[in-house]
Structure 1
Amino acid sequence: MTTIADRISIAQRRINQAAQNCSRTPSDISLLAVSKTKPINDIVAAYDAGQRQFGENYVQEGEAKITALAGDYPDIEWHFIGPLQSNKTKIVAEHFDWMHTISRDKIAQRLNDQRPAHKKPLNVCIQVNISQEDSKSGVDAAEVASLALTISKLPNITLRGLMAIPTATDNTDLQQQEFAKLKTLYDQLKQQYPSIDTLSMGMSGDMDIAIANGSTMVRIGSAIFGER
């Protein structure tokens, strides 16, 4: 039976191989362990295996885990990667280190205003609806520049990059097109904002294509923690 430590090692080897396949440096790609719905013991097991970046999708669940682990594991970096309602921005602003799913000026402003003064600015990514599906959150590609400008003027949040979830499909050509489109947007933004260094795209099923198209952070959940 494989352990969480085994599965982290396997995921890291996949990242390394995918990077080598496209002549990239493996250390330029971070593994974000998606720990939503998983117990604290699983997070501790991943931590003991060397994992430090964890992603949560649900506000209250994430807050509870962060609070429980803050004392003994202060170097965990917590990423909020789920949809966020405006009435819950305060929890994210106060507890998380990253927020990947900004798609509205209002959310950006609230996170800025609610970020505690003693904390470093909240790192944020703009979520892009790269597949243009009605069921998915995120801004259209044409709206990225405007939202980026808004975020750049807010002192308590820092724009770090873009995030997207591509079409769920076995059509690798379509995935390739969507990832390439996001990379183009990312490169354009990076020329304007020196703080940008993160392209959050790719999960277990499409990690190789995402890395080939410049992903700097892949989000892996069940392949590490098991099925939910």
Structure 2
Amino acid sequence: MTPETTNLLTSPLPNGLATVEQEIARACKEARRDRTSVTLIAVSKTFDAAAISPVIDAGQRVFGENRVQEAKAKWPGLMSDHPGISLHLIGPLQSNKAKEAVALFDAIHSVDRPSICEALAKEINFQKKQPELFVQLNTGEERQKAGVAPGEADAFIASCREKYGLAISGLMCIPPVDEAPAPHFALTAKIAARNGLKNLSMGMSADFAIAIQMGATHIRVGSAIFGHR
């Protein structure tokens, strides 16, 4: 099994990670899902190697970063010291960072516009490396937030596949902070199902239990593990 599909955590766990693991187990049990069907992405953005190392030592192997440059500065050393790390880019990606992103990350959760598709397709072909790709939805259609509007999602996913040859594995969403997350998770799951996408990146520290109930396969948890930034 890979770090994506198995729970490698050992004891003792840092307090935050232990609590999150307990909540994931509870949510999975209530949803009648196997724990291995949910990948915990420990969001380590803004935290340095000293803060991340204890979480790695506890057995966590999947981590998320928001910025390519920050990840590039701290993760090569950590990954050299700790084999088996899977690194996910969960923040916005600029076209001029596509080369570095494809080289460093195992998954990219923020595919949301043609320029990114074109840059990723070029680098994936050149580097002969295939990160897992998620299309980011803007389910609340918020002006300040990146992502594809729900009404444009089907056409965008088709374009990713047919025009750019990208293997899209799932969808990612970040619900508006002032709205109940469940309807946004349900909408994301519906769009994924009709496009034949199996992976759902949704749910963060405050709502990952709800996301699990709604079918999330990847949850992005930062402050509940590492504390507030």
The answer, yes or no, to whether TM exceeds 0.5 is yes
What's the counterpart of residue 204 of structure 1? 205
Q: What code does the residue aligned with 2:191 have?
A: L
Q: Give me the whole-angstrom Cα distance separating, in 1, the residues matched to 2:114 and 2:193.
A: 22
User: For residues 134-185 of structure 1, what are the alpha-carbon distances to aligned partners after superposition, in whole Å with 9 as ceiling and x for unaligned?
Assistant: 1211001122222222322445x5311000000113x5xx322111111111
Aligned pairs, number: 217
What's the counterpart of residue 193 of structure 1? none
Shift of 1:68: 1.8
Q: Give me the whole-angstrom Cα distance separating, in 2, the residues matched to 1:211 and 1:71.
A: 32
Shift of 1:119: 4.8
Q: Give me the whole-angstrom Cα distance separating, in 2, the residues matched to 1:73 and 1:118.
A: 23
Q: Give me the whole-angstrom Cα distance separating, in 2, the residues matched to 1:151 and 1:143.
A: 12
What's the counterpart of residue 75 of structure 1? 84
Q: Give me the whole-angstrom Cα distance separating, in 1, the residues matched to 2:107 and 2:128.
A: 12
Match of 2:144 among 135, 139, 163: 135
Find the residue that maps to 1:83 and give its secondary structure. Answer: coil
Shift of 1:4: 6.3
Q: Give me the whole-angstrom Cα distance separating, in 2, the residues matched to 1:89 and 1:120.
A: 12
What's the counterpart of residue 214 of structure 2? 213
What's the counterpart of residue 173 of structure 2? 164
The CA RMSD over aligned residues, in Å, is 1.8
Residue 184, structure 1, aligned to residue 190, structure 2: yes
Residue 33, structure 1, aligned to residue 42, structure 2: yes
| Seq. identity, % | 37
Residue 222, structure 1, aligned to residue 223, structure 2: yes
Could you tell me which runs of 5 or more consecutive residues in structure 1 were left unpaired when the two chains were aligned.
191-195
Distance 1:150 1:74, change over 3 A: farther
Could you state the TM-score of these two structures normalised by the residue count of structure 2?
Answer: 0.88
Distance 1:4 1:39, change over 3 A: farther
Q: Is the 8 A contact 1:201 1:217 kept in 2?
A: yes
Shift of 1:64: 1.5
Shift of 1:206: 1.1
User: For residues 3-46 of structure 1, what are the alpha-carbon distances to aligned partners after superposition, in whole Å with 9 as ceiling and x for unaligned?
Assistant: 96222121011011112112222221111000001011222211
Residue 107, structure 1, aligned to residue 116, structure 2: yes
Q: What code does the residue aligned with 1:159 have?
A: I
User: For residues 64-102 of structure 1, what are the alpha-carbon distances to aligned partners after superposition, in whole Å with 9 as ceiling and x for unaligned?
Assistant: 222222322231101001111222222112211110011
Q: Is the 8 A contact 1:99 1:123 kept in 2?
A: yes
Find the residue that maps to 1:71 and give its secondary structure. Answer: helix
Q: Give me the whole-angstrom Cα distance separating, in 1, the residues matched to 2:127 and 2:138.
A: 33
What's the counterpart of residue 24 of structure 1? 33
Could you tell me which runs of 5 or more consecutive residues in structure 2 were left unpaired when the two chains were aligned.
1-11
What's the counterpart of residue 42 of structure 1? 51
Q: Give me the whole-angstrom Cα distance separating, in 2, the residues matched to 1:116 and 1:94.
A: 12
Find the residue that maps to 1:113 and give its secondary structure. Answer: helix
Find the residue that maps to 1:160 and give its secondary structure. Answer: strand
Q: Give me the whole-angstrom Cα distance separating, in 1, the residues matched to 2:52 and 2:128.
A: 23
1:53-72 → structure 2 map (5 Å cutoff): 53-72=62-81
Residue 88, structure 1, aligned to residue 97, structure 2: yes
Q: Give me the whole-angstrom Cα distance separating, in 2, the residues matched to 1:37 and 1:218.
A: 18
